[in-house]
A = this chain, B = another copy of it.
Amino acid sequence: MEPVTIWTYDWVPAGPRGFVRDLRLRWACREAGLTYTVATVRFEDRETGHLDRQPFGQVPFLEDGEVRLFESGAALLHLAERSEVLMPRDPAGRADVLQWTIAALNSVELVTLPWWYLAIRGDADNGVTGWMAQRLDHLERELAQRDWLAAGRFTVADIVMADVLRVKRVRAFGSRPATEAYVARVTARPAFAAALAEQMEHFETADRARATGGD
Protein backbone atom coordinates (compact mmCIF):
# COMPACT_ATOMS: atom_id res chain seq x y z
CA MET A 1 0.00 0.00 0.00
CA GLU A 2 1.09 3.56 -0.70
CA PRO A 3 2.29 5.47 2.34
CA VAL A 4 -0.05 8.09 3.77
CA THR A 5 1.10 11.66 4.36
CA ILE A 6 0.63 13.30 7.75
CA TRP A 7 0.65 17.09 7.60
CA THR A 8 1.73 19.08 10.64
CA TYR A 9 3.38 22.43 11.43
CA ASP A 10 6.98 23.09 10.43
CA TRP A 11 7.68 24.42 13.93
CA VAL A 12 5.80 25.24 17.14
CA PRO A 13 6.90 26.92 20.42
CA ALA A 14 7.95 24.72 23.32
CA GLY A 15 4.54 24.71 25.05
CA PRO A 16 2.50 22.52 22.69
CA ARG A 17 5.35 20.17 21.77
CA GLY A 18 4.40 16.62 22.59
CA PHE A 19 0.73 17.55 22.25
CA VAL A 20 0.34 18.61 18.61
CA ARG A 21 -2.26 16.26 17.25
CA ASP A 22 -0.19 14.89 14.41
CA LEU A 23 0.97 12.62 17.26
CA ARG A 24 -2.40 10.84 17.18
CA LEU A 25 -1.91 9.97 13.52
CA ARG A 26 1.76 8.97 13.84
CA TRP A 27 0.73 6.73 16.79
CA ALA A 28 -2.14 5.12 14.88
CA CYS A 29 0.01 4.45 11.81
CA ARG A 30 2.70 2.85 13.96
CA GLU A 31 0.16 0.64 15.74
CA ALA A 32 -1.28 -0.43 12.42
CA GLY A 33 2.02 -0.88 10.60
CA LEU A 34 1.04 1.74 8.03
CA THR A 35 3.95 3.61 6.50
CA TYR A 36 3.74 7.38 6.42
CA THR A 37 5.68 10.46 5.48
CA VAL A 38 5.41 13.81 7.22
CA ALA A 39 4.84 17.10 5.38
CA THR A 40 4.56 20.55 6.87
CA VAL A 41 2.69 23.85 6.68
CA ARG A 42 4.14 27.02 8.17
CA PHE A 43 3.08 27.63 11.76
CA GLU A 44 3.60 31.36 11.33
CA ASP A 45 1.11 31.47 8.42
CA ARG A 46 -1.50 29.22 9.98
CA GLU A 47 -4.24 31.84 9.96
CA THR A 48 -3.75 32.88 6.36
CA GLY A 49 -1.67 30.29 4.58
CA HIS A 50 -3.43 26.98 4.89
CA LEU A 51 -7.07 27.75 5.47
CA ASP A 52 -7.67 26.37 2.01
CA ARG A 53 -6.40 23.04 3.29
CA GLN A 54 -7.70 23.13 6.88
CA PRO A 55 -10.65 25.47 7.38
CA PHE A 56 -9.89 26.13 11.05
CA GLY A 57 -6.15 26.76 10.53
CA GLN A 58 -5.24 23.67 12.52
CA VAL A 59 -3.18 20.53 12.03
CA PRO A 60 -3.07 17.67 11.37
CA PHE A 61 -4.51 16.70 8.08
CA LEU A 62 -4.01 13.40 6.33
CA GLU A 63 -3.48 12.49 2.70
CA ASP A 64 -4.21 8.97 1.58
CA GLY A 65 -4.03 8.71 -2.19
CA GLU A 66 -6.75 10.95 -3.59
CA VAL A 67 -8.41 11.38 -0.21
CA ARG A 68 -7.53 14.25 2.09
CA LEU A 69 -9.02 14.69 5.55
CA PHE A 70 -8.71 17.32 8.22
CA GLU A 71 -9.81 16.76 11.88
CA SER A 72 -7.65 14.27 13.74
CA GLY A 73 -10.76 12.30 14.75
CA ALA A 74 -11.83 11.91 11.14
CA ALA A 75 -8.32 10.96 10.04
CA LEU A 76 -8.16 8.32 12.77
CA LEU A 77 -11.50 6.79 11.80
CA HIS A 78 -10.26 6.74 8.21
CA LEU A 79 -7.04 4.95 9.23
CA ALA A 80 -9.13 2.52 11.28
CA GLU A 81 -10.80 1.42 8.05
CA ARG A 82 -7.36 0.49 6.73
CA SER A 83 -6.32 -1.72 9.63
CA GLU A 84 -8.13 -4.19 11.87
CA VAL A 85 -5.50 -3.45 14.53
CA LEU A 86 -7.29 -0.14 15.07
CA MET A 87 -10.89 -1.36 14.77
CA PRO A 88 -12.46 -4.81 14.57
CA ARG A 89 -14.57 -5.65 11.53
CA ASP A 90 -17.66 -7.16 13.19
CA PRO A 91 -20.62 -4.74 13.44
CA ALA A 92 -20.80 -4.75 17.25
CA GLY A 93 -17.05 -4.16 17.59
CA ARG A 94 -17.11 -1.38 15.00
CA ALA A 95 -20.01 0.33 16.75
CA ASP A 96 -18.25 0.08 20.11
CA VAL A 97 -15.09 1.69 18.71
CA LEU A 98 -17.08 4.36 16.93
CA GLN A 99 -19.10 5.35 20.01
CA TRP A 100 -16.04 5.56 22.25
CA THR A 101 -14.03 7.51 19.69
CA ILE A 102 -16.84 10.04 19.40
CA ALA A 103 -17.27 10.06 23.20
CA ALA A 104 -13.61 11.03 23.56
CA LEU A 105 -14.08 13.89 21.09
CA ASN A 106 -17.58 15.12 21.89
CA SER A 107 -18.25 14.20 25.56
CA VAL A 108 -14.79 14.32 27.15
CA GLU A 109 -12.55 16.63 25.08
CA LEU A 110 -15.54 18.93 24.54
CA VAL A 111 -15.24 19.73 28.26
CA THR A 112 -11.54 19.17 29.00
CA LEU A 113 -10.19 21.34 26.17
CA PRO A 114 -12.31 24.41 27.04
CA TRP A 115 -11.42 23.85 30.71
CA TRP A 116 -7.73 23.82 29.78
CA TYR A 117 -8.18 26.85 27.52
CA LEU A 118 -9.59 28.81 30.47
CA ALA A 119 -7.06 27.34 32.92
CA ILE A 120 -3.95 28.39 30.97
CA ARG A 121 -5.39 31.90 30.87
CA GLY A 122 -5.24 31.94 34.66
CA ASP A 123 -8.52 30.50 35.85
CA ALA A 124 -8.03 26.85 36.83
CA ASP A 125 -11.18 26.85 38.95
CA ASN A 126 -13.38 28.08 36.16
CA GLY A 127 -17.00 27.74 35.15
CA VAL A 128 -16.57 24.34 33.52
CA THR A 129 -14.58 22.67 36.32
CA GLY A 130 -17.64 21.02 37.89
CA TRP A 131 -18.91 19.83 34.53
CA MET A 132 -15.50 18.36 33.73
CA ALA A 133 -15.34 16.60 37.10
CA GLN A 134 -18.72 15.00 36.42
CA ARG A 135 -17.66 13.72 33.01
CA LEU A 136 -14.39 12.36 34.41
CA ASP A 137 -16.26 10.65 37.25
CA HIS A 138 -18.50 8.91 34.75
CA LEU A 139 -15.48 7.84 32.77
CA GLU A 140 -13.74 6.56 35.90
CA ARG A 141 -16.71 4.27 36.48
CA GLU A 142 -16.22 2.77 33.01
CA LEU A 143 -12.46 2.47 33.24
CA ALA A 144 -12.72 0.67 36.59
CA GLN A 145 -14.46 -2.14 34.74
CA ARG A 146 -11.98 -2.90 31.97
CA ASP A 147 -8.50 -2.31 30.57
CA TRP A 148 -9.49 -0.94 27.13
CA LEU A 149 -12.41 1.25 26.17
CA ALA A 150 -13.97 -0.71 23.34
CA ALA A 151 -14.28 -4.18 21.85
CA GLY A 152 -12.33 -5.83 24.69
CA ARG A 153 -8.93 -4.81 23.33
CA PHE A 154 -6.78 -1.86 22.30
CA THR A 155 -8.38 0.17 19.50
CA VAL A 156 -8.21 3.62 17.97
CA ALA A 157 -10.69 4.78 20.65
CA ASP A 158 -7.90 4.35 23.21
CA ILE A 159 -5.58 6.55 21.16
CA VAL A 160 -8.02 9.43 21.23
CA MET A 161 -9.18 9.02 24.81
CA ALA A 162 -5.67 8.58 26.23
CA ASP A 163 -4.42 11.56 24.23
CA VAL A 164 -7.25 13.67 25.67
CA LEU A 165 -6.61 12.47 29.23
CA ARG A 166 -2.82 12.56 29.28
CA VAL A 167 -2.95 16.35 29.81
CA LYS A 168 -2.02 16.14 33.50
CA ARG A 169 -3.72 19.36 34.63
CA VAL A 170 -7.04 17.97 33.44
CA ARG A 171 -6.70 15.05 35.85
CA ALA A 172 -5.54 17.14 38.81
CA PHE A 173 -9.03 17.55 40.24
CA GLY A 174 -10.08 14.56 42.36
CA SER A 175 -8.73 11.06 42.68
CA ARG A 176 -9.53 8.66 39.87
CA PRO A 177 -7.23 5.65 40.14
CA ALA A 178 -8.73 3.68 37.24
CA THR A 179 -8.27 6.66 34.94
CA GLU A 180 -4.66 7.07 36.08
CA ALA A 181 -3.99 3.38 35.47
CA TYR A 182 -5.68 3.59 32.07
CA VAL A 183 -3.59 6.54 30.88
CA ALA A 184 -0.42 4.78 32.10
CA ARG A 185 -1.45 1.55 30.34
CA VAL A 186 -2.24 3.15 26.98
CA THR A 187 0.74 5.49 26.92
CA ALA A 188 3.08 2.60 27.85
CA ARG A 189 2.58 1.24 24.34
CA PRO A 190 5.79 1.41 22.29
CA ALA A 191 3.99 3.06 19.38
CA PHE A 192 3.02 6.00 21.60
CA ALA A 193 6.60 6.47 22.86
CA ALA A 194 7.92 6.31 19.30
CA ALA A 195 5.35 8.80 18.01
CA LEU A 196 6.07 11.19 20.86
CA ALA A 197 9.85 10.99 20.35
CA GLU A 198 9.37 11.53 16.64
CA GLN A 199 7.26 14.66 17.15
CA MET A 200 9.79 16.11 19.61
CA GLU A 201 12.61 15.39 17.16
CA HIS A 202 10.65 17.00 14.32
CA PHE A 203 10.42 20.31 16.18
CA GLU A 204 13.98 20.12 17.52
CA THR A 205 15.23 19.72 13.96
CA ALA A 206 13.27 22.87 13.09
CA ASP A 207 14.98 24.70 15.98
CA ARG A 208 18.37 23.70 14.63
CA ALA A 209 17.49 24.84 11.13
CA ARG A 210 16.35 28.21 12.53
CA ALA A 211 19.52 28.57 14.62
CA THR A 212 21.71 28.04 11.57
CA GLY A 213 19.79 30.57 9.51
CA GLY A 214 17.60 28.12 7.65
CA ASP A 215 13.90 28.66 7.45
A interface list, Cβ under 8 A from B:
51, 55-58, 65-71, 73-75, 77-78, 91-92, 95, 98-99, 101-103, 105-107, 109-111, 113-114, 117-118, 121, 123, 126-128, 131, 135, 138-139, 141-142
Report copies per complex: 2
User: Is the beta-carbon distance between A105 and B103 smaller than 8 angstroms?
Assistant: no
A21 to B123 CA separation, bound complex (whole angstroms): 31
A73 to B109 CA separation, bound complex (whole angstroms): 14
A56-B127 contact given A92-B67, A98-B74, A98-B78, CB 8 Å threshold: no
- B-chain residues with CB within 8 Å of residue A66 when the two chains form the complex: 91-92
- B-chain residues with CB within 8 Å of residue A74 when the two chains form the complex: 95, 98-99, 101-103
Which secondary structure dominates chain A's binding surface?
helix
User: Is the beta-carbon distance between B56 and A68 smaller than 8 angstroms?
Assistant: no
- B-chain residues with CB within 8 Å of residue A121 when the two chains form the complex: 127
Closest to A131 in B: B117
A105 to B73 CA separation, bound complex (whole angstroms): 10
Shortest distance between the CB of A4 and any CB in chain B (Å): 12
User: Is the beta-carbon distance between B55 and A69 smaller than 8 angstroms?
Assistant: no
A142 to B54 CA separation, bound complex (whole angstroms): 10
A71 to B98 CA separation, bound complex (whole angstroms): 9
A71-B99 contact given A55-B138, A55-B141, A126-B127, CB 8 Å threshold: yes
